[in-house]
Amino acid sequence: MDTPENIYVTKSFLPPIEDYETYIRQIYDNGILTNQGPLLQELEKKLQKFLDIDNLQYVSNGTIALQLALKALEIDDGEIITTPFSYVATTSSILWERCTPVFVDIEPNNFTIDANKIEAAITSDTKAIMPVHVFGYACDVEKIEQIAKQHNLKVIYDAAHAFGSRYNGKSLVSYGDISTLSFHATKLFHTIEGGACIVNCGNETAKHLDLCKRFGHNCDEHYTLGINGKQSEFNAAMGLANFPHIDEIIHERKRVCDAYDAKLKAIVQRPKTQQGLDYNYAYYPVVFKDENQLLNVFAALNAEHIFPRRYFYPSLNTLPYLKNKMSCPVSEDICSRIACLPLYPTLSDSDITRICDIILSQLS
């Protein structure tokens, strides 16, 4: 009997190879491999139009995007209020830039930072707020903006999951002083590796960020401390080849989510979609009764070569290398029993049914 094919939590979308080869030939013809080449510039323009924003800067990955955002806003010390419920890169970017993460617990409905608890965490050392649009669901952007203005704080949104999500008719990445995206191979839209900074707070900051990602100089004139955050033409080529398929990818991800909903929504806890949110179907998270139930489901799925992911785990306020420990009971609870189920455009209806049947067998 043949061993069934493994089903992982995600499977990267690949465009027709002929489309990618067309762009690769352009690279070979013009000999430009990096340094803000023509394919990168073309991709930036297409993404700006798609997202209806004015300044998108394509960079090497989503973590560098967060670090560049801090540098561009001249935040190089002090406290950054952030969420414990995210991928570790959110916290890592803060620590790497020698700032101090201050964790504010999450709200229990869609797992974004609890905006009602932010003001209590503000001190004289607070420089910025770095919330996360978790799984593509929107933070309370109105309240966060109000708090930031009242206390003269910058807002950097980690929008790694939010590509294609819109709130009140606007792209989620149009909120905050700077929003960042990830174009990692696991994301809804990818360039193999990559990310972007969307600067919403003016041309001067955009120019500063552009310099920061290019070593801080323009030709022989050096202006500021910089780093190499540039991206290659080969990665841009993958983005351009994937770009025409964005609507198709989101449509097929919605199909998978709807199929899961039909079998699981009444059984397991799911994030609640905010009014005014046009969702991008980036992930399909489910919350089990407790950690033991989650582990039993994982064991049953893994036995059938199906591999969901504990995402996010652990709660970032519990990372062992943090100097200051903070209690975030809601995040710690959710992290102990949440998982993301397999979700990608080519996941078949029969496999979705099989996944759901295995889960339901462990919950009965």
Residue 11 domain-assigned?
Answer: no
* CATH number of the domain bearing residue 304: 3.90.1150.10
Instruction: Tell me: pLDDT of 364 over 90.
Output: no
pLDDT band at 193; cut points 50, 70, 90 = very high
Residues 328 and 349 in one domain: yes
Joined together, the tokens standing for residue 227 give: 């780093």
Least trusted range by pLDDT, from 93-97, 188-192, 271-275, 331-335: 271-275
pLDDT digits (tens, 9 = 90+) for 305-340: 999 999 999 999 999 999 988 999 999 999 999 999
Cβ proximity of 79 and 102 under 8 Å: yes
For tokens 């967060």, name the residue.
Answer: 66
pLDDT band at 1; cut points 50, 70, 90 = low
What is the DSSP code (8-state) at residue 325?
-
Task: Specify the pLDDT at position 324.
Answer: 85
Range of the domain at 54: 17-243
pLDDT digits (tens, 9 = 90+) for 146-159: 999 999 999 999 99
Domain boundary among 212, 243, 274: 243
Domain boundary among 224, 243, 262: 243
Residues 93 and 24 in one domain: yes
pLDDT digits (tens, 9 = 90+) for 13-66: 999 999 999 999 999 999 999 999 999 999 999 999 999 999 999 999 999 999
Report the candidate in 217, 240, 215, 241 with the shortest Cα–Cα distance to residue 226: 215
How far is CA 168 from each of CA 138, 259, 317, 343, rounded to the nearest angstrom? 10, 26, 31, 26
Average pLDDT, the chain: 97
Residues 92 and 237 in one domain: yes
Cβ proximity of 58 and 236 under 8 Å: yes
Domain boundary among 207, 222, 243: 243
Instruction: Tell me: pLDDT of 298 over 60.
Output: yes
Mean pLDDT of 197-218: 96
pLDDT digits (tens, 9 = 90+) for 224-239: 999 999 999 999 999 9
CB neighbours (10 Å) of residue 36? Answer: 17
Task: Specify the pLDDT at position 2.
Answer: 60
Least trusted range by pLDDT, from 46-55, 158-167, 264-273, 283-292: 264-273
What's the domain count of the chain?
A: 2
Percent of the chain with pLDDT over 90: 96
pLDDT digits (tens, 9 = 90+) for 51-78: 999 999 999 999 999 999 999 999 999 9
Residues 221 and 272 in one domain: no
Least trusted range by pLDDT, from 167-171, 287-291, 324-328: 324-328
Residues 185 and 69 in one domain: yes
Residues 251 and 147 in one domain: no
Residue 5 domain-assigned?
Answer: no
Mean pLDDT of 172-197: 98
Tell me the pTM: 0.96
Q: In what order do the strands lie in the sheet with 178-182?
A: 56-59, 195-199, 178-182, 154-158, 126-130, 79-82, 100-103
Phi, psi of 132 (to 5 degrees): -130, 130
Cβ proximity of 100 and 119 under 8 Å: no
Residues 212 and 303 in one domain: no
Task: Specify the pLDDT at position 168.
Answer: 96
pLDDT band at 174; cut points 50, 70, 90 = very high
Percent of the chain with pLDDT over 70: 99
Residue 35 domain-assigned?
Answer: yes
Residues 30 and 150 in one domain: yes
* CATH number of the domain bearing residue 164: 3.40.640.10
